[in-house]
Structure 1
Amino acid sequence: MRLLVVALALVLTLMYFTFGLRFGYVTLTPTYMFGASGTNRYTYQIYEPNQTVGVEGSCTVRSGEVTLRLLDPKGSQVAGQSCPKGSWGLKLVATGDPGRYTLEIEMKKFSGVMDLKETRK
């Protein structure tokens, strides 16, 4: 049993120093992150012209930085926001042509909480 606990602690330490620890799913539940680095992508499909899609929520940053970008089907950025240290409200929405819109979240040694919800109209 002790060996299992030591192995788990070693794995968690290795994960923390490589890509960080993440607990939750960003667009469904509040997500707690510790030393997270890298880029996550989430896609949203629009089927009819002039529909609105995006995310609303908040990010609380204890250390590091996180940048959110909403990209249209052509790959152009239509909304973006950066969260430096502190608490921030987020609202990234786009209205446009049918296709896949991508939410790109870039993290640099990010520790904090991110709470996003999908929004459509």
Structure 2
Amino acid sequence: MRLLVVALALVLTLMYFTFGLRLGYVTLTPTYMLGASGTNRYTYQSYEANQTLGVEGKCTVRSGEITLRLLDPKGLQVAGQSCPRGSWGLKLVASGDPGRYTLEIELKKFSGVLDLKETRSK
């Protein structure tokens, strides 16, 4: 049992120093992050012209940087927001051509909480 605890501690330490620790699933549950780095992408499909879609929520930053971008089907940024240290509300929505919209989240040694919910309207 001790060996298992030591192995788990080693794995968590290795994860922390490579890409950070993350607990949760963005857009479904609040996601707690510790030293997280990298870029995550989430896609949303729009089937109708001028349908509004995107994400709303908040970010609480203890340290590091987090930048969110919403890209249209052509790959152009239509909404974006960075969160400095503190607690901030987020709202990234777009409407336009039908297709696949992408939410891109860029993390640089981010420690804090990201709580996003998908939003759609006709």
The answer, yes or no, to whether TM exceeds 0.5 is: yes
Provide the secondary structure at the position in 1 that maps to 2:25: coil
- 1:6-59 per-residue CA deviation (whole Å, 9 max, x = no partner) reads 000000000000000000001100000000000000000000101000000000
Tell me how far 1:72 sits from its aligned partner: 0.1
Q: Which residue of 1 aligns with 2:58?
A: 58
Provide the secondary structure at the position in 1 that maps to 2:39: strand
Tell me how far 1:90 sits from its aligned partner: 0.0
CA distance in 2, matches of 1:109, 1:9: 20
User: TM-score scaled to structure 2, two decimals?
Assistant: 0.98
Structure 2, unaligned runs of 5 or more? none
The 5-angstrom pairing of residues 5-84 of structure 1 reads 5-84=5-84
CA distance in 1, matches of 2:73, 2:97: 8
Tell me how far 1:81 sits from its aligned partner: 0.0
Provide the secondary structure at the position in 2 that maps to 1:26: coil
CA distance in 1, matches of 2:48, 2:59: 30
Tell me how far 1:86 sits from its aligned partner: 0.6
Tell me how far 1:61 sits from its aligned partner: 0.2
Percent same amino acid among aligned pairs? 90
CA RMSD, Structure 1 to Structure 2 (Å): 0.4
CA distance in 1, matches of 2:88, 2:50: 28
Where do 4+ consecutive residues of structure 1 move more than 6 Å? none
Structure 1, unaligned runs of 5 or more? none
Q: Which residue of 1 aligns with 2:87?
A: 87
Provide the secondary structure at the position in 2 that maps to 1:65: strand
Tell me how far 1:84 sits from its aligned partner: 1.1
CA distance in 1, matches of 2:43, 2:118: 11
CA distance in 1, matches of 2:91, 2:30: 16
